[in-house]
Amino acid sequence: MRFLATLFLLVLLLATVEASRRSRLLRKLYKKSTNYDTAPNNVETVWYKGMRLDHFTWGDTRTFDLRVMWNNTFYKEGGPIFFYTGNEGGLESFEKATGMMFDLAPMFNAAIIFAEHRFYGQTQPFGKDSYKNLANIGYLTSEQALADYAELLTELKRDNNRMGKTFSQDTPVISFGGSYGGMLSAWFRQKYPHLVKGAWAGSAPLIYMHDGGVDPGAFDNITSRTYVDRGCNRYILANAWNATIRLSSTDAGRQWLNNNNVFKLDPRTPIKTAADGWNLNSYLREAIEYMAMVDYPYPTGFLEPLPAWPVDAACGYMNATGTSFSDQDLVSAVANAANIYYNYNKNASFTYCIDYSICGDQGTGGLGDDQLGWPWQECSEIIMGMCARGGSNDVFWNECPDNIYDDLKQGCISIFGSMNWTTANWNIDAVKTLYGYDLSGSSNLILTQGHLDPWSGGGYTADQTNAARGIYVMEIPGSAHHLDLRTPNTCDPNTVTNARFQIVSILKCWVDKNCNTIPTITPLPSISIPNTECKDVIGGYPWGQTTGSAAAASALLSLIVAIYYALF
């Protein structure tokens, strides 16, 4: 009986750790700024006073203030509005991670507007009580957020409006967004086509929900592919996790884990049991997954300070050939790789705090008072079934239960049980009902996915492109999580540059009332990675690309296909 009780507690611990890990994954890129009150210097912060708390009833007249950041420097009459649909965090990080809006605005004479998502950043409808109870947090929904954005845009086109800036009624609006923001951007176009001319949604896992047709193991399958394709020894990654558990199950192994030359454990979270070993595994795994998401071709620092191509750097520690490794060798290899993520600057005092309940999430640094926001959305409407399968699917351990949604319920209870959360507070088919998975009724959507990005498995595929209705789906080789929306850089792969070039042609037609042609896209070129000094390219359009070369490539491809069918 004691053994069964211990086993039950271990299984419960693993379920709780995994639910916590999932809740952190999609909010990965947007840690709290050093100074949450300081806006970037290229935007002005304004407030929309009196935003309706509930857009779907006329009996509740409560309001709140919604934070907006904008830049009207480049705007000229007749130009469009570039509108960012804010997502799960403060606006500061989104503004910094979406440089394409600023790079293209002068060419389009566009205004730039970032609207903060309710319940995130400084937009707290109930102030410090926003996350106090279910009655308050229940107003945190994607549908209410989209209605906020619709009301804001409608107000901006009224004369003498409360924002002090009026745009003409026929000003076209293009929505932009990455990750969950990309989901919102696409849904914004779908739900409010009379307000939004088109959407550029980067790395949006729009169908990674119940009945969306995506395997729960897709995320970790792509993570594993990204590492193995870059030269990592699959055996090392796949076997390090059991090595950790074996070490944490013996006195000698625990002695090494608590005192080694590769990493230092925080004094608050020593390894005393196998359960602590699982905490270490989750901690190391988070670094591996995050580096796959942000595997950018130049150094970045918005998540953690990282080198260019961090997966390449990580594989430098995990590329030894063969299978003859000790448990210490395996754990050391993966921990050295994780150190690139957690401690690239080699701070001698840095320690692994592996229990999130004690230290919070060292992987993202936290989101301030809104840390319950995304977990709530995962426990109400945006419910993603995700798990590693191990084996041939990925390099992690098999954690997929018979019913993943039962597992998710336990995670929600562990987080919101004190607020009396029950399954009556969620709807696993909410996204399917509100927005749908079928693009047949949609138009004017640019949906980009990075081939390196684990989230790409939750998006649409290129064969769902339908230029006649303005649906363009691109999977971009060499691109990680919404790299295409970031500021152009000399080190960007040619595939990313060409994708942006083709997208600009689409945007030009969308905002031009006289455009009568249907934009088309051509296959992206074979990937080529520049070997040069990395620096931002401001105002560099067309970035060395030409329509003629793309058209020629398309014509050549069509000719080859025609010859093939003629001969065979």
* Cα dist from 366 to 96, 177, 437, whole Å: 17, 21, 31
Domain span at residue 10? Answer: 2-26+218-419
Candidate list 33, 481, 484, 492, residue with the active-site label: 481
Instruction: Look at the alpha carbons of 320, 324, 325, 330 in this order and tell me if their dihedral is positive or negative.
Output: positive
pLDDT at residue 52, as a whole number = 98
The whole-chain average pLDDT of the chain stands at: 90
Mean pLDDT in residue range 436-440: 94
The C-alpha atoms of residue 338 and residue 449 are separated, in whole angstroms, by 25
Confidence of residue 124 (pLDDT cuts 50, 70, 90): very high
Which H or E run contains 45? strand 44-52
In 3D, which of 99, 98, 104, 138 has the Cα closest to residue 118? 138
pLDDT at residue 26, as a whole number = 42
Candidate list 93, 179, 380, 442, residue with the active-site label: 179
Whether 453 is catalytic is yes
Given a cut of 80, whether residue 564 has pLDDT beyond it is no
Within a domain: residue 294? yes
Mean pLDDT in residue range 181-207: 98
Token pair, residue 67, equals 């934070």
The C-alpha atoms of residue 101 and residue 81 are separated, in whole angstroms, by 10
Q: What are phi and psi of 64, to 5 degrees?
A: -150, 175
Which H or E run contains 413? helix 404-416
Looking at residue 437, what DSSP letter applies? S
**Per residue in 217-230, pLDDT tens?**
999 999 999 999 99
Query: Which CATH number goes with the domain that contains 358?
Result: 1.20.120.980
Which H or E run contains 85? strand 81-85
Whether 179 is catalytic is yes
Within a domain: residue 45? no
The C-alpha atoms of residue 111 and residue 163 are separated, in whole angstroms, by 14
Reduced to 3 states, what is the DSSP secondary structure of residue 398? coil
**Per residue in 74-109, pLDDT tens?**
999 999 999 999 999 999 989 989 999 999 999 999
- Structurally, how many domains does the chain consist of? 1
Confidence of residue 357 (pLDDT cuts 50, 70, 90): confident
pLDDT at residue 145, as a whole number = 98
Within a domain: residue 320? yes
Within a domain: residue 415? yes
Confidence of residue 39 (pLDDT cuts 50, 70, 90): low
Mean pLDDT in residue range 542-566: 54
**Per residue in 153-166, pLDDT tens?**
999 999 999 999 99
Question: What percentage of the chain reaches a pLDDT higher than 70?
Answer: 88
Within a domain: residue 237? yes
Which H or E run contains 66? strand 63-71
**Per residue in 450-500, pLDDT tens?**
999 999 999 999 999 999 999 999 999 999 999 999 999 999 999 999 999
Given a cut of 90, whether residue 62 has pLDDT beyond it is yes
The C-alpha atoms of residue 190 and residue 417 are separated, in whole angstroms, by 34
Candidate list 370, 453, 484, 492, residue with the active-site label: 453
Within a domain: residue 437? no
Within a domain: residue 548? no
Within a domain: residue 16? yes
pTM of the model: 0.91
Mean pLDDT in residue range 236-245: 98
Mean pLDDT in residue range 371-383: 94
